[in-house]
Structure 1
């Protein structure tokens, strides 16, 4: 079966955000299955999109994005 093609995205994250990703991947992992930081990012994307589709947490997400430490300087 051919491997599923995926798009690649490169982002710059802070040391704190990397630590959060690492900790989350560790917490989601089990002895049977290790979870990667990329899988955590994909899960977060799906969760946020689902919540926004339901009209939930929009103001909360906007407030987070408006914070200086999360904004994209590019």
Structure 2
């Protein structure tokens, strides 16, 4: 069976964001299954898209994106 093709995305994150990813992956993991930081990112993308599709949290997400904590440093 051919391997499912995935797109790769590279992003620059702060040490604090990396720590959040690590902590979240650890909290979601169980003795039976370890969760990777990539899986946490994919879950977050799906969750945000689902909430936006339902019209929820739009202004909250915009406010977060307007803050310095998640801005791109280009």
TM-score range, shorter chain: over 0.9
Deviations 1:20-47 (A, max 9, x none): 0000000000000000000000000000
Aligned-pair Cα RMSD in Å: 0.6
Matched, 1:50 2:24: no
Tell me if 1:5 matches 2:5. yes
**Higher percent of residues as helix:** 2
Corresponding position: 1:60 with 2:52: no
TM-score by length of 1: 0.97
TM-score of the pair, normalised by structure 2:
0.97
Structure 1 gap segments, 5+ residues each:
none
In structure 2, runs of 5+ residues without a counterpart are none
How many residue pairs were aligned?
74
- Who is 1:40 aligned against? 40
Tell me the equivalent position of 1:69.
69
